[in-house]
Chains A and B, each alone.
Chain A
Amino acid sequence: MEFLGYINYWVFIVLMMSGFYLFLSARNLVKKIIGLNLFQTSVFIYYISTGKLRDGSVPIQTEGIESYSNPLPHVLILTAIVVGVASTALGLSLILRIKDDYGSIEEDEIDAQDVLS
C-alpha cells in the first residue's frame, strides 16, 4: 500500500471537501445536516488511517501475530462517532420543531419570517 500513502490522504481530503461544500451550499436544513455528517465521517476515515501499520493486524491479541495497528485512534473515533450521532439527533429534532413552528425548513423562508416578526 506504500505508493498509495499520499493518494489515500488526498482522497480523504476530497471527501471532506465535498461534505463541507454540501454543508455550506445547502439552504435546506436537513441537507446541511447530511453534509456535516459526510464531512465528519471523512475526518473519521482520516483519523483511523493514522493508526494503520503496514503489515499490522487488528488490535486483538492472537497467537502468532507480532505487530498490531495502533488502537488509540480507534478509541478516539469511537468517541467521536458517538458525539457525532448525538449532535445529529439534536439537530434533527431542532429541525422537526422548526418545521412545526415555521412551516418550512428552507433557510431563506425561515429568515424571511424572522425578519417580519
Chain B
Amino acid sequence: MIAEHAIILVVVLPLLVAPLCVLLGRGTLAWGAATLAVWSSFGLALHLLGRVLEEGVLRYQLGGWAPPVGIEYRLDLAGALVMTIVTAIGAVVLPYSFASVRREIDEHRHAWFYACLLLCFAGLLGITVTGDAFNLFVSLEISSLATYVLVSIGRDRRALTAAFRYLLLGTVGATFYLIGVGFLYQMTGTLNMEDMARILTEARPDGLGPVHSTKTVRAALAFLTVGTFLKIALFPLHVWLPNVYAYAPSVVSAFLSATATKVAILVLLRVFYTVDGKATPFDALPIADTMVPLAIVGALVASFVAIYQRDVKRLLAYSSIAQVGYMAIGIGLATQAGLAASLLHMINHAIMKGTLFLAVGCIVYRVGQTRLEGLRGVGREMPLTSTALVLGGLSLIGVPLTAGFVSKWALLQAVLADSHWIVAALILLSSLLSILYVGQVIHVLLLRKRPPGAAPIQEAPLWMVLPTLVLAIGNLWFGIASDQAAEVSRQAAEFLIREVAP
C-alpha cells in the first residue's frame, strides 16, 4: 500500500507532521517528529526515483478524480531528481539543526521553527511532483510563506528587512505566475499541464494556426518566465537573495541555498518543456537570446561582487547567484547536452553549497559571527569543519576530482558543442574569480593567525560536524564516481526534450 501511495505520502507526511509539531509544543519532541518525517520522505523519494528509472512517469489521481477534472500528481525523472536532492539535503540538515537551532533561535519558537521547516520542505516537494499548473502555485506559496518565517525567526534584525523584501518580490513573482496561468487557462480551458500542452498544439477555433501561436499564449509565457526568474534569483532579479541567505539562521541558509533555487529552476523547466514544450517556447519568444546573456553577465557580476564581501555568508550568497547563472546558461542553450549539464550542476551545487553553509554554521556555533575579520585562524582550531569547508570550496571552484568540476566540464562541453566560444571564455573567467573569493575565505580561516589573547575555540558538536562531513564527502564521491548522476540527468533531459518532439 505504501508503494502505491508513496508519491503522495512523500509530500503529505511532512505537511501533516508540521501541525503535529505545534501540538507537541516542545522543541525536542518537535525536532524528533520532524526528523522522522523528513527521513521517511527521503526513503520514499529514493524508492520513487528507482521506480521512475524503471517504469517511467508515475501518476496519481488525487481524490480519485481522473485529470483534468481533478488534480494529478505526475512524477517524471527531472521531478524525481529534484525531489531526491531536496529530501537528501533535508535528511542531512535536520540532525544538524538540533544544536544549531538551540544556539541561534529563542527556545519558545523551536516548535514553530520545525513546523515551518517541514511546511517549506513539503511545499518544495509538492512543486516537484505536481502535474497541475495551479496546484504548483499553491505549493509554491506554501514553501514561500514558510520561508519568510524561517528567515525572520532568528535574532538578527537585518533578517527582518531581508525577509520583508523577499516577501514583496516573492509575492510579485507568484502573482506573475498566476497571471501567466490565467492567460493559459483562458486559451486552453484546463489547468492540467499535459492537457494544456495538448490543447496548445491544436488549431484555434477560428482556424488561424495553433493555439500556441496566439499573442495571449506568448504574453502568458513572458509572465511565467519573469515570475520564475524572480524566484530563481536570475540576474538582475536577484536583489532579494544575498541578504536572505546572509542573515537567516545557519540551518535555513543551508537548506534554502541547496534546495529553493533548484526547485524554482524545475518550475522553469515545467513551463518551458512540460506545459509549453510542443509550442517550442524557444522559437516563440527570444528566450535563449535573453537568458544566456543575462545568465553570463549575472555569473560574472555576482562573482565579482562576491570578492568584495566581508561577510562569509553574503559571499556565499553572491556565489549562489553566479552558480544559478551557470544553470540558466545550460537551459538557455536549449540543447539536450545543455539541459543535462544544468541538471547535473543542480545536484552538485546543492551538495557544495549545502556543505559550505553547514560548515559556516559550525563556525557560527562556536564564534557567533560571520565577518571575515573575526574569523582569522579559526579554521586551525576546528580541523574537521575546515576540512569540509575546503572540500566544498574546491568543488565550488571546479577543481578536478570534485563534483563541481564534473558539471562545469559538462556545461563547457555543451556550450562548445554549440560553438559559443565567448560564453565558454566568460564561464572560465567567472571560475577564475571564484578562485579569488574562495581563496580569500580559506586564507583567512587557515593561514592567518588568531589575534593574540583570543579565547581558544573547540570543534563544533559531533552532530553538527558529522552531517557537514557527509555532504563534504559527497563532493568527492560525485566528483570521482560521477557516472550515475550524469546518466540520470542525461536521461531526465532526454525525457524533457522528447516531450517537445512532435
Contacts and interface: CB of A to CB of B under 8 A. Distances in A.
Does chain A touch chain B in the assembled complex, meaning CB atoms less than 8 Å apart? yes
B235 interface: no
B182 interface: yes
B182 A43 contact: yes
A22 interface: no
Contacts of A23: 168, 172
B145 A114 contact: no
B134 A76 contact: yes
A117 B145 CA distance: 28
Interface in A43-81: 43, 46-47, 50, 72-73, 76, 79-80
Interface residues of B, number: 27
A101 interface: yes
B175 A39 contact: yes
Interface in B152-191: 152, 157-158, 160-161, 163-164, 167-168, 171-172, 174-175, 178-179, 182, 185-186, 191
B145 A43 contact: no
A15 interface: no
Contact of A32 (B160, B161, B168): B168
A110 B158 CA distance: 9
Contacts of B179: 43, 46
Task: Determine the main DSSP class of B at the interface with A.
Answer: helix
A45 to B, nearest CB: 11
A32 to B, nearest CB: 6
Contact of A101 (B134, B141, B157): B157
Interface in A83-117: 83, 86-87, 90-91, 94-95, 97-98, 101-102, 110, 114, 117
A90 B174 CA distance: 16
B447 interface: no
A29 interface: yes
B157 A46 contact: no
B167 A83 contact: no
A68 to B, nearest CB: 15
B160 A87 contact: no
B149 interface: yes
Contacts of A94: 148, 152, 160, 163-164, 167
Given A32-B168, A76-B134, A114 B141 contact: no
Given A87-B145, A94-B148, A50 B186 contact: yes
Contacts of B172: 23, 36, 39
A108 B172 CA distance: 21
Contacts of B152: 94, 97
A40 interface: yes
Contacts of B134: 76, 79
Contacts of A102: 157, 161
A97 B159 CA distance: 11
B164 A91 contact: yes
Contacts of B161: 98, 102, 110, 114
A79 B132 CA distance: 15
Given A43-B175, A43-B178, A98 B164 contact: yes
Interface string B275-313: 000000000000000000000000000000000000000
B138 interface: yes
Contacts of A117: 158
Contact of A83 (B141, B157, B163): B141
Interface string B174-216: 1100110010011000010000000000000000000000000
Interface in B317-345: none
B89 to A, nearest CB: 24
Contacts of A83: 138, 141, 145, 174
B240 to A, nearest CB: 13
A74 to B, nearest CB: 13
A29 B164 contact: yes
Contacts of B137: 80
B178 A97 contact: no
Contacts of A72: 191
Contacts of A32: 168
Nearest to A101: B157
Contacts of A50: 182, 185-186
B62 to A, nearest CB: 14
B178 A80 contact: yes
A97 B160 contact: yes
Contacts of B164: 29, 91, 94-95, 98
A72 B69 CA distance: 10
A90 B148 contact: yes
B168 A91 contact: yes
A40 B333 CA distance: 34
B33 to A, nearest CB: 24
A23 B145 CA distance: 19
Nearest to A91: B167
13 contacts: A36-B172, A50-B186, A76-B134, A83-B141, A86-B141, A86-B145, A94-B148, A95-B164, A97-B152, A97-B160, A98-B160, A98-B164, A102-B157
Closest 8 CB pairs of A and B: A101-B157, A94-B164, A83-B141, A50-B186, A98-B160, A91-B167, A97-B160, A47-B182
Given A43-B178, A117-B158, 13 more contacts: A23-B172, A40-B171, A43-B182, A50-B182, A50-B185, A50-B186, A83-B138, A87-B141, A87-B171, A90-B148, A91-B164, A94-B167, A98-B161
Interface of B: 134, 137-138, 141, 144-145, 148-149, 152, 157-158, 160-161, 163-164, 167-168, 171-172, 174-175, 178-179, 182, 185-186, 191
